[in-house]
Amino acid sequence: MTAATDVVVIGAGLAGLAAASRLVDAGAEVVVLEARERVGGRTLTLPAADGTPIDHGGQWIGPTQDRIAALADRVGVTTYASYEHGLNTEFRDGRAHRFDGQLPDGSDPVSAVAMGQAIRELDAMAARVPLEAPWTAADALVWDSQTVETWLQDRVSAERARNWLRAVIRGTLAAEARDLSLLHTLFVIRSAGGIAPLIATAGGAQERRFHGGAQTISIRLAESLGERVVLGAPAEVVRHGESGVVVEAGGRAVAAGRAILAVPPAIAGRIGYRPAMPGWRNQLTQRVPMGSVIKVHALYDEPFWRREGLSGLAVSDNGPVRIVYDNSPEDGSPGVLVGFIEGQQARTWARRNRADRRAGILACLTDYFGERAGRPRELLERSWADEEYSGGCYAGYFPPGVWTSFGQALREPIGRLHWAGTETATVWTSYMEGAVQSGERAADEVLAAS
Amino acid sequence: MTAATDVVVIGAGLAGLAAASRLVDAGAEVVVLEARERVGGRTLTLPAADGTPIDHGGQWIGPTQDRIAALADRVGVTTYASYEHGLNTEFRDGRAHRFDGQLPDGSDPVSAVAMGQAIRELDAMAARVPLEAPWTAADALVWDSQTVETWLQDRVSAERARNWLRAVIRGTLAAEARDLSLLHTLFVIRSAGGIAPLIATAGGAQERRFHGGAQTISIRLAESLGERVVLGAPAEVVRHGESGVVVEAGGRAVAAGRAILAVPPAIAGRIGYRPAMPGWRNQLTQRVPMGSVIKVHALYDEPFWRREGLSGLAVSDNGPVRIVYDNSPEDGSPGVLVGFIEGQQARTWARRNRADRRAGILACLTDYFGERAGRPRELLERSWADEEYSGGCYAGYFPPGVWTSFGQALREPIGRLHWAGTETATVWTSYMEGAVQSGERAADEVLAAS
């Protein structure tokens, strides 16, 4: 029962499918093994009760994310602008404040100055991180020896500014400032082109959404790959040597010249290798944990907040849901709010029972948008840490000490094994764009080696 | 081919064997599944060319390590005092300085005062860490938000004192100060009873050694367990539910009422679970990486350094091997030096070729003990990161943010699955003593639940 091919790709997320498509374009034979019964990895679009496609995973696309845009274009998936008219909401000290623009602190000059200064300083440091090799930055060891929390406490004097930056980091990496290496965070900022592109809706990472949902791209790519994509085939053992690779997956075996492992480092570490991985690769996979996020959708008959002059964007200092966006379909029917439970909140609330968690979520929505927000016709939640083959979202992150000790192990092929996944990207790492770049880069490696 | 038993234990290291022995004593039926073709886990004793037993893994026992002492006693493994007569060596700024006592900096009052002060401060903070639940310390979040490196830079003014403390931490956890949560390090200190017991030979963790080598304890325990111990059986899938557990391992299946997983968290994370682990347990296993160490032994016809009035203990600020002990057998024949390549040095030197590494090791030994040290009759090395089923040594450690977010997940049973391994211990965690405590505690959990 051994199938033979040129390249076996493990993982049918965007990275794996982008790699496979590029290889097929170049005339290679490819088999893609996917553990789940679906493609798309950390993108997942499911219909709500009324059929509205809901993106439970990655969903946004913005300027400079050219590779995912091209891929979507190729399979005929179009985009529309995220809704962002009206006032934003900041919930703080027990009440909702409405504000215009991106920064809630315009009314508080001390915090606004501190925030602007911190952003400029982070951007300036980030500009000094070489994207191909963050560990070679002149200050790499200094930055990798401290958490972002330490940096915030040392460098940002205003508590509100610190809290706002903690929220930005949580919103970007689904981890706490105390979990993260400063060097890693600077690398992520640099890979996106700065803090402004990370946080902005128009002009930034949250600018547009995909008609039919982001997973549609992967589904159509998989359709075009046809029988090359095998579902329900979790890679268990990867045998590799000078003559080729054999992957054992759910009772199948696929022999190939080379393999691309298009899964996060933490998940790659759970596969068995014969021979075993060298220690430096083994230890890397122990050190890049996945972020913690529960994504929540509340559906209403209409986006009632819009008529009240509100954008649906809320940031909060309290409760499980600390960031909310209007996530209605393009025609505004039904009204949909998406809330993110991230970092420590995700870790705490995942352990409570469903009823408590729903009550906590609805209390947040009520605080931000009034009583009506507390009575959605449907409330959906997705905890990515529970997904065995993702292990968390949005991506793997680097705690202190990991980039400078193990950065070299991240993309370096081991014999005939090549590594993809958004964690290995140099642009928009942890985003869909990074996934596509990583898959295309791994495909190019394989093509160059063949 | 399904065998049935009361309790299946995964891992025949000290934790698993201690658990199994306790269960058998209580009248339970037990099967122990071990991935390797040997027992002992992170203890491993192999004969040198002349037959001298060499401990490539854990090796020392000291005061207050009563459980491992009792276990050794039970199987008739006796101990002898580590050699520590004569002057110690500090290699610094390119030359070897000899000194008496534990601290090399007696001659430098500023550093000595800074060191003493730092030790007192660390011990005082450690005393406030509750061993059962480090995350409940009053200052847990502050301590878990920073690396030990950050603390050293903030609190220890003298560079030599900082370097010495970095070396102590590296020697204890095989990781760099920048890798470690301050809270975790305080927990380890508290679990050992303070810094002094951690670093001391006489009166401390390095006081005595086992005749025949530390692995002998596991080998004899396994002999007493007989056919209950199955080698070459790596657990692949653990099926668990209300009625029991079935472990699939290397073509075998073992059904049991309960399971004890006596492996480090990172290794437990590489086993498949059906149903999958809840997200909080899944994410814990992504966040407790194993330390990095290459243990080196150099054998000589005799312990020539003793005749020169040297103890064989060396600490160094340079090269791959930064700590050395006299590791000769009790009768002093042959002479054996053991060197530790730890943390960043282990990560760097593991990637070099064997000839370069040997040259680097011998250059260190020559620097510390003269030309003769550079010409051993045998040179042995063991890189624990390369061991698939350990993933590193001495133990899993906690980067910032992990104890406070995931500490609760460390020992909490999941249905019929119980967790052991020195990482789950509350005394002498990361030591053999902790392994035994953890195994006995897990066995007690199972017995109480039955």
The per-residue pLDDT for range A120-154, each reduced to its tens digit, is 999 999 999 999 999 999 999 999 999 999 999 99
Q: In this model, does residue B257 exceed pLDDT 70?
A: yes
Residues A220 and A285 in one domain: yes
CA distance A339 to A68: 24
* B176 to chain A, closest Cα gap in Å: 8
pLDDT-above-70 percentage for chain A: 99
Residues A285 and A400 in one domain: yes
Considering only residues A417 and A105, tell me which one the structure prediction assigns the higher pLDDT.
A417
Strands B378-383 and B293-300, by their bridges, are: antiparallel
Residue A298 three-state SS: strand
Q: Inspect the interface and report whether the beta carbons of B280 and A351 lie closer than 8 Å.
A: yes
Q: In this model, does residue B3 exceed pLDDT 90?
A: no
Residues B285 and B311 in one domain: no
The answer to whether residue A445 is domain-embedded is yes
Nearest to A146 among B150, B276, B344 (CB): B150
User: Shortest CA distance to A30 belongs to which of A247, A235, A306, A228?
Assistant: A228
Res A179: pLDDT = 98
Residue B84 three-state SS: coil
Residues A280 and A320 in one domain: no
> Residue A344: its chain B contacts at CB < 8 A?
405
The answer to whether residue A8 is domain-embedded is yes
Q: pLDDT of A309-328, one tens digit each?
A: 999 999 999 999 999 999 99
DSSP secondary structure string for all residues of A124-186: HHHTTS-TT-GGGSTTHHHHHTSBHHHHHHHH---HHHHHHHHHHHHHHHSS-TTTSBHHHHH
Q: In this model, does residue B1 exceed pLDDT 80?
A: no
Count of CB atoms within 10 A of residue A432's CB?
A: 33
Confidence of residue B108 (pLDDT cuts 50, 70, 90): confident
Its pTM stands at 0.97
Residue A431 three-state SS: coil
User: Shortest CA distance to A67 belongs to which of A448, A438, A392, A436?
Assistant: A436
Res B450: pLDDT = 80
Least confident of A4-18, A333-347, B107-121, B382-396: B107-121
Tell me what the pLDDT averaged over chain A comes to: 96
Res B443: pLDDT = 98
pLDDT-above-90 percentage for chain A: 94
CA distance B399 to A186: 19
Residues B182 and B229 in one domain: no
Res A373: pLDDT = 98
Res A274: pLDDT = 97
CB pairs under 8 A between A and B: 158
Q: How many domains does chain A have?
A: 3
Q: In this model, does residue A105 exceed pLDDT 70?
A: no
Boundary (domain end) residue, out of A358, A386, A414: A386
Least confident of A136-140, A429-433, B156-160, B438-442: B156-160
- Mean of pLDDT values over B130-145: 98
Element (H or E) spanning B187, and its range? helix B182-192
Q: pLDDT of B51-92, one tens digit each?
A: 999 999 999 999 999 999 999 999 999 999 999 999 999 999
Residues B218 and B285 in one domain: yes
Residue found by looking up tokens 């590779």 in the block: A67
Res B222: pLDDT = 98
Boundary (domain end) residue, out of A359, A386, A413: A386
Nearest to A280 among B288, B350, B384 (CB): B350
CB within 8 A of B50, min separation 6: which ones? B299, B334, B378
pLDDT-above-90 percentage for chain B: 94
Dihedral over alpha carbons A275, A278, A282, A283 (to 10 degrees): 160
Q: Inspect the interface and report whether the beta carbons of A175 and B287 lie closer than 8 Å.
A: no
**Distances from the Cα of A5 to the Cα of A10, A195, A206, A233, B306, angstroms:** 13, 43, 39, 16, 63
Residues B284 and B221 in one domain: yes
Q: In this model, does residue A1 exceed pLDDT 80?
A: no
> Residue B406: its chain A contacts at CB < 8 A?
347
Confidence of residue B109 (pLDDT cuts 50, 70, 90): confident
Residues B382 and B301 in one domain: yes
Which of A141, A169, A286 best tests the B interface by mutation, with the highest count of B CBs <10 A? A286
Residues belonging to chain B: 450
Residue A326 pairs with which residues in a beta bridge?
A337
Res B105: pLDDT = 63
The answer to whether residue B313 is domain-embedded is yes
Contact status, residue A233 vs residue A31, Cβ threshold 8 Å: no
Q: Inspect the interface and report whether the beta carbons of A276 and B150 lie closer than 8 Å.
A: no
* B272 to chain A, closest Cα gap in Å: 8
Q: In this model, does residue A430 exceed pLDDT 90?
A: yes
User: Shortest CA distance to B89 belongs to which of B99, B75, B103, B101?
Assistant: B99
CA distance B423 to B434: 8
- Mean of pLDDT values over A194-211: 94
Residues B188 and B219 in one domain: no
Q: Inspect the interface and report whether the beta carbons of A283 and B290 lie closer than 8 Å.
A: yes
CA distance A226 to A211: 23
Residues A275 and A412 in one domain: yes
> Residue A282: its chain B contacts at CB < 8 A?
385-386, 388, 391-392
CATH number of the structural domain spanning residue A413: 3.50.50.60
* B401 to chain A, closest Cα gap in Å: 5
- Mean of pLDDT values over B210-232: 98
The answer to whether residue B100 is domain-embedded is no
Q: Inspect the interface and report whether the beta carbons of B283 and A289 lie closer than 8 Å.
A: yes
Element (H or E) spanning A358, and its range? helix A354-369
Nearest-Cα residue of chain B relative to residue A175: B401
Considering only residues B200 and B22, tell me which one the structure prediction assigns the higher pLDDT.
B22
Q: Inspect the interface and report whether the beta carbons of A350 and B388 lie closer than 8 Å.
A: no
Considering only residues A158 and B2, tell me which one the structure prediction assigns the higher pLDDT.
A158
Nearest-Cα residue of chain A relative to residue B275: A388
CATH number of the structural domain spanning residue B152: 1.10.405.10
Res B102: pLDDT = 73
Q: pLDDT of B161-196, one tens digit each?
A: 999 999 999 999 999 999 999 999 999 999 999 999
The answer to whether residue B230 is domain-embedded is yes
Q: In this model, does residue A258 exceed pLDDT 70?
A: yes
Q: In this model, does residue B106 exceed pLDDT 70?
A: no
State the DSSP code for A385.
G
CA distance B145 to A178: 5
Boundary (domain end) residue, out of A133, A168, A199: A199
CB-based burial of residue B29 (10 Å sphere; 0-12 exposed, 13-18 middle, 19+ buried)? middle
Q: Domain range holding A272?
A: 2-40+214-289+396-449
Element (H or E) spanning B163, and its range? helix B159-173
Q: Inspect the interface and report whether the beta carbons of A145 and B178 lie closer than 8 Å.
A: yes
Residue B296 pairs with which residues in a beta bridge?
B339, B381
Q: Inspect the interface and report whether the beta carbons of B289 and A292 lie closer than 8 Å.
A: no
Q: pLDDT of B328-352, one tens digit each?
A: 999 999 999 999 999 999 999 999 9
Q: How many distinct helices (H) and strands (E) make up chain B?
A: 16, 20
Res A102: pLDDT = 73
* A53 to chain B, closest Cα gap in Å: 25
Q: In this model, does residue A228 exceed pLDDT 80?
A: yes
Packing angle, helices B109-126 and B148-155, rounded to 10: 130
Q: In this model, does residue A103 exceed pLDDT 80?
A: no
Residues A347 and A280 in one domain: no
Alpha helices in A174-310 (DSSP H): 182-192, 195-199, 215-225, 265-268, 279-285, 304-307
CATH number of the structural domain spanning residue B322: 3.90.660.10
The answer to whether residue B55 is domain-embedded is no
The answer to whether residue A58 is domain-embedded is no
User: Shortest CA distance to A347 belongs to which of B270, B137, B180, B409?
Assistant: B409
Residues B378 and B310 in one domain: yes
Biggest distance spanned by C-alpha atoms of chain A: 69
Res B217: pLDDT = 98
The answer to whether residue B152 is domain-embedded is yes
Nearest to B290 among A286, A290, A384 (CB): A286
